[in-house]
Amino acid sequence: MIEVLVTLLIVTFGLLGLAGLQLKLQSSEMESYQRAQALVLLNDMSERIVTNNGNAASYVSSSAIGTGDTEPASCTGLAAGSVARDLCEWSNELKGSAETVTGAGNVGAMVGARGCITQVQAANPASGVCLPGIYQVAVAWQGIVKTAAPAISCGQTQYGSDEGYRRVISRIVTVGLPGCS
């Protein structure tokens, strides 16, 4: 009888360990999914800036784009290919408009997704200087598990008092000046 009880105790601890492992795997899978979504959205805006490089400085925004912004839900009234249309579409993508669930709304992006576009260096086509425009595109979202706080300020203080739950990825976009020599 004692052997059976010991065996049950060992099996119980083993099953609890498996349950804990399953929870860890699920949170890791969600973190991975959110990072993949963020990379897609980061590359999307970076390519929009490169494509519309003559207006690159117009993409810079003093506030975050996406969750909590004032961009309209429909961008159809804005001119195709314009900076305003690009920012509106990116905002809606960050808000998860690519996938919706009845009763739940937008679910196609990360939790609390925000995007930031900052100018690192202004373009200067002056003779003898020829500095390209350099921009940083960043995407921030709320993570599931606490990690080290990111150094990039995009989305700072937007995910509670503990910055360890904020995730940020960024990309530098350089807009060259082909006419410079």
Mean pLDDT of 21-44: 90
Dihedrals φ, ψ of 131, to 5°?
-95, 130
| Residue 72 in tokens | 């309209």
Under 8 Å CB-to-CB from 26, ≥6 apart: which residues? none
Residue bearing the bigger pLDDT, 106 or 27? 27
pTM of the model: 0.84
pLDDT at 181: 64
Model confidence at 96, pLDDT cuts 50, 70, 90, reads: confident
pLDDT at 145: 87
Mean pLDDT of 65-84: 91
pLDDT at 142: 93
> Would the pLDDT of 168 be above 70?
yes
Residue bearing the bigger pLDDT, 100 or 77? 77
Q: Say which range, 77-81, 100-104, 123-127, has the weakest mean pLDDT.
A: 100-104
Q: Among 175, 180, 105, 166, which Cα is nearest to 137's?
A: 175
Model confidence at 130, pLDDT cuts 50, 70, 90, reads: confident
pLDDT at 106: 66
Dihedrals φ, ψ of 138, to 5°?
-130, 150
